[in-house]
Amino acid sequence: MTNSSRPLIGLTPSHNIENDDLSIRPTYIRALRAAGALPFIFPLEISRDEIRQLAALCHGFLFTGGPDPHPFLWGEEVHEHCGTISVRRDQLELDLLSEAMQQKKPILGICRGAQMLNIGLGGDIYQDIKSQHTCSFPIAHTQPAAYSVPTHHVTVADGSRLSQICGSSRQLAVNSCHHQAVRRLAPGLMAGAVAPDGIIEEIEMADYPFLIGVQWHPEYLWENDEASAKLFRAFVQACQSLDGQ
Ligand SMILES: [Mn+2]
């Protein structure tokens, strides 16, 4: 990669199962470009060999937000409050995770993306926090405010990659637009941030170039929130430093 070229980051698309359209929220594109990357979107109609070929061109991967993974992936029946499922998107993301990790390339997961990292590595998720997770003060994880407004806090774990990236603050104020969440952590992952109700809001792998999943949406916060901007910059820097390996 020359000095003038930006690290190429492959994003997983949203899949509308009604009309088969693929889409991407421009907030992801803006956040990555502001951090110095060149983003593009993966197709769904693609073979495993083609995923490997495209992945080899990428410097990093962003697993984006979206609706609900198929519970068969972790051996559960579909809960009555599980949302829309795209089997083809699930499959792309599981295949891409496998290829990305074989190539030891940086990975960032956001919301559903974080959950897919955990599922792909052998963990599982709550299909519906409200129905499956009880506590004395339930937090509004589906927030009653615009996505650009933080509505709950997370406590960052000492010694986590997230704490190195975000600096001194042990508490981060985050937005929250999810009804599912990581339940059982996959082997090799740790919780780098937890909400006051005990919901895991960040996962990371210590023994890997860069693998972080956040349950919140930093792509709606980075313009006014230094911790979110730092997260995107750290991800893109990890993609850049891969060059020459
Ligand atoms: Mn939340």
69 assigned to some structural domain: yes
Q: What is the largest CA-CA distance in the chain?
A: 54
d(CA 212, CA 110): 9
| pTM score above 0.75 | yes
2 assigned to some structural domain: no
Contacts of 179 (CB under 8 A, 6+ apart): 81, 83, 128, 129, 130, 141, 142
199 assigned to some structural domain: yes
Q: Letter for the amino acid at 204? A: E
Catalytic residues: 111, 217, 219
Q: Which of 97-105's residues contact partners 24+ apart within 8 Å by CB, and which partners? A: 97/63, 97/121, 99/48, 99/51, 99/52, 99/55, 100/55, 100/58, 100/61, 101/208, 101/211, 103/55, 103/56, 104/208, 104/209, 104/245, 105/55, 105/58, 105/59, 105/60, 105/61, 105/209, 105/239, 105/242
151 assigned to some structural domain: yes
C-alpha 45 to ligand 1 mean position (Å): 32
Indicate if the pLDDT at residue 203 is higher than 60: yes
Task: Look at strands 189-194 and 200-205 and give their pairing.
Answer: antiparallel
Q: Provide the domain count of the chain.
A: 1
Mean predicted confidence (pLDDT) in 195-210: 97
Indicate if the pLDDT at residue 94 is higher than 90: yes
Ligand 1 is an ion; residues with CB less than 5 A from it:
141, 176
183 assigned to some structural domain: yes
C-alpha 142 to ligand 1 mean position (Å): 7
Q: Kindly report, residue by residue over 32-72, the tens digit of the pLDDT.
A: 999 999 999 999 999 999 999 999 999 999 999 999 999 99
C-alpha 123 to ligand 1 mean position (Å): 19
C-alpha 177 to ligand 1 mean position (Å): 7
Determine the structural domain holding residue 57 and report its residue range.
8-241
Q: Letter for the amino acid at 130? A: K
1 assigned to some structural domain: no
| pLDDT, position 3 | 54
CATH number of the domain within which 152 lies? 3.40.50.880
| pLDDT, position 244 | 46
